[in-house]
């Protein structure tokens, strides 16, 4: 792959990844309420989810979702329902100041569970699958071998996605360390839960391109 084409892909991918979406909002919510260990797990979950989604899209499954109304609808509703479920769980976990003491820590989530949640949400995002189908072919040289080019693009995007999520997670975690008031913790958790529910409803409203 020509270096200039690869660098263009890097710039375009970076610009697209910093745009807030369901995955990034989940990363920020978990990092601000759960800490550094979970922040790292969430970033790894994003990278894994993108690896699954992009690989399936590149080998043809994404094209199926783009052309099949039924497949797209199923993926859309599964992803939307999962986001709403996670959002409601986060809303219910928010404790009022009366339920929290200065010695309390936010309800902990196992790093493995956070990794699984982020992987699932990222992989099931129908917008991502559609995007990969439309985006990746622009950087494929039809006169060169397909597999090596696809491998380079997938690895590049996944690495950028993981680094991007980790930067946002660690920045949010740094802010968390300065937030000790129970009221602030409660509203952060509620805001994160409400955002996930909103993102789920937005995902449910997506329509397949025609």
Q: What is the pLDDT of residues 86-95, one digit of tens each?
A: 778 777 766 5
Q: What is the pLDDT of residues 131-160, one digit of tens each?
A: 677 667 777 776 778 788 888 988 999 999
Q: Residue 99 pLDDT more than 60? A: no
Task: Please report, for the chain, how many H helices and E strands are present, in that order.
Answer: 9, 0
Handedness of CA 144, 146, 152, 156 (dihedral sign): positive
pLDDT value for 105: 41
Q: Residue 116 pLDDT more than 80? A: yes
Q: Residue 13 pLDDT more than 90? A: no
DSSP 172-185: HHHHHTT---HHHH
Q: CA-to-CA distance for 166 and 43, rounded, in angstroms?
A: 5
pLDDT value for 66: 61
Instruction: Give percent of the chain above pLDDT 90.
Output: 4
Q: What is the pLDDT of residues 163-184, one digit of tens each?
A: 988 888 888 777 765 655 667 6
- Which residue in this structure is represented by tokens 């309420």? 33
Closest CA to 160 of 2, 56, 43: 43
Q: CA-to-CA distance for 88 and 27, rounded, in angstroms?
A: 16
pLDDT value for 179: 57
Q: CA-to-CA distance for 117 and 119, rounded, in angstroms?
A: 5
Segment 19-30 mean pLDDT: 74
Pick 41 or 62 by higher pLDDT: 41
The pLDDT mean for the chain works out to: 75
Q: CA-to-CA distance for 194 and 181, rounded, in angstroms?
A: 20
Pick 199 or 194 by higher pLDDT: 194
Binned at pLDDT 50, 70 and 90, residue 23 comes out as confident
pLDDT value for 103: 32
Q: Are the C-beta atoms of residues 170 and 39 closer than 8 Å to each other? A: yes
pLDDT value for 163: 92
């Amino acid at each position: 792959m020509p270096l200039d084409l690869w660098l263009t892909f890097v710039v375009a991918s970076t610009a697209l990844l910093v745009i807030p979406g369901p995955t990034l909002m989940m990363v920020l919510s978990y990092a601000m309420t759960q800490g550094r260990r979970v922040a790292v797990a969430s970033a790894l979950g994003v990278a894994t989810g993108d690896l699954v989604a992009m690989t399936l899209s590149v080998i043809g499954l994404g094209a199926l979702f783009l052309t099949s109304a039924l497949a797209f609808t199923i993926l859309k509703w599964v992803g939307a329902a999962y986001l709403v479920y996670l959002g409601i769980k986060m809303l219910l976990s928010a404790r009022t100041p009366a339920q929290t003491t200065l010695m309390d820590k936010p309800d902990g989530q196992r790093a493995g569970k956070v990794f699984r949640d982020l992987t699932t949400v990222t992989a099931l995002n129908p917008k991502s699958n559609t995007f990969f189908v439309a985006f990746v072919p622009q950087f494929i040289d039809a006169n060169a071998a397909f597999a090596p080019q696809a491998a380079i693009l997938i690895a590049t995007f996944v690495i950028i996605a993981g680094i991007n999520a980790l930067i946002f997670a660690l920045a949010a975690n740094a802010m968390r360390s300065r937030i000790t008031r129970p009221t602030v913790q409660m509203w952060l958790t509620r805001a994160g839960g409400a955002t996930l529910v909103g993102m789920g409803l937005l995902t449910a409203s997506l329509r397949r391109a025609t």
